[in-house]
Amino acid sequence: MKGIVALEDGTIFEGESFGAPGESVGEVVFNTGMTGYQEVLTDPSYKSQIVTMTYPLIGNYGVNDADIESERVQVSGFVVKEACSYPSNFTSTQPIDQYLKSANIIGVEGIDTRALTRHIRLAGAMKALIAAGDTLDTDSLVDKARAWKGLVDVDTVKEVTCNDSYAWNDIAQPESGTSFNYKVVALDYGIKYNILRILQRFGCDVTVSPASTSAEAVLAQNPDGIFLSNGPGDPAAVTYAIETIKNLIGKKPIFGICLGHQLLSLALGASTYKLKFGHHGSNHPVKDLHTNEIAITSQNHGFCVDMDSFENTGVTISHVNLNDTTCEGIADRERNVFSVQYHPEASPGPHDSGYLFREFVGRMD
């Protein structure tokens, strides 16, 4: 069956489909990770995005029940050079084609992913439509891509947050010698499971609450700390979350990751903007401005905090991206808040920045 990726600027990439038939709109982006495709597929930060993998062979170790980061596949579409039909790994339960079919997600293989990646780098991430079928009208697909609302000024968080609060109770136990000493409320803007696993490993008793939870409801639980999760889309559109965070600052230790970092920054008086093609991958170098140490990090975001907008806010820039010198972390010790743009929990990616969870625990102490 034919598979097509149609971009809003009229560019067409044609290949073969795998996964489900049909069509879907989204913002087309590229991810530079060599592994971790199942974690990418299930990362809520990819909601409403069509992900292109730059590594040419995807699916070679199959999929399994352990490597998921949310309750479902979140991407709008998946584009690869070659989708492996015969995975080889003792943990594999099914090939990626079957996995996407069961999730009703469209995949396209056989296109020049290097050319698509280069196009995005030059022109920027853009609206697109991915389609699978026997008869496809490319002009119509381009028109549908252009007509899509996009991600700017759109609240995507409401599509991925939980409906009700729940206690995280994974089989993982705290590290040896650690007990559940810290009560943490995690505000769910599209939280990844591995964040919750790591918090639990560090002795945190975590309650996950919807993004719309009020500051009063959070504080009524008397937590030792508050965690602001990752998530998709434009942070400036999630106005209710910004207002909640404003009313939490200075009352409890706060740690934010990814979208949580952006929302905390907005609540502190900064501003955000859309990056040309975003940061998506597991090999981004970030410098800690306090220690001068460099970590290789996992990243997934299309918006960024404007460093200049922190002037006269009392906030310190703690980390910068060494690829493009954008803001990767902030801290305000007086108000006991800190956040990073990247993903210290990895999944997929390196574990260089796992110490940040220990810092959060230290601040609660």
Catalytic residue among 8, 23, 328, 345: 345
Beta-carbon contacts of residue 186 (< 8 Å; ≥ 6 apart): 168, 195, 196, 199, 206, 207, 208, 209, 226, 227, 229
Domain 157-364 of CATH type 3.40.30.10: no
Tokens of 94: 């099914």
Does the pTM surpass 0.85? The reply is: yes
Q: How far apart are CA 109 and CA 14, in angstroms?
A: 9
Give the pLDDT confidence score for residue 328 in this predicted structure.
98
Please say whether the beta carbons of 221 and 248 come within 8 A: no
Tokens of 179: 């007990």
- Span 297-314, pLDDT tens digits: 999 999 999 999 999 899
Each domain of the chain, given as residue ranges in start order, spans 2-147, 157-364
- Span 276-293, pLDDT tens digits: 999 999 999 999 999 999
14 is catalytic: no
Q: How many CA atoms lie within 13 A of 13 on its CB side?
A: 27
157-364 shares the fold of 2-147 = no
Catalytic residue among 204, 258, 304, 327: 258
Please say whether the beta carbons of 106 and 100 come within 8 A: yes
Going by pLDDT thresholds of 50, 70 and 90, the confidence category of residue 170 is: confident
Class of domain 2-147 (CATH, top level):
alpha beta
Measured between alpha carbons, how far is residue 279 from residues 107, 222, 249, 323, 326 in Å? Answer: 22, 36, 28, 10, 11
345 is catalytic: yes
359 sits in which H/E element? helix 355-364
204 is catalytic: no
Going by pLDDT thresholds of 50, 70 and 90, the confidence category of residue 169 is: confident
CA 93 from centre of chain? 25
Going by pLDDT thresholds of 50, 70 and 90, the confidence category of residue 80 is: very high
CA 300 from centre of chain? 5
- Span 224-265, pLDDT tens digits: 999 999 999 999 999 999 999 999 999 999 999 999 999 999
Q: How far apart are CA 280 and CA 285, in angstroms?
A: 12
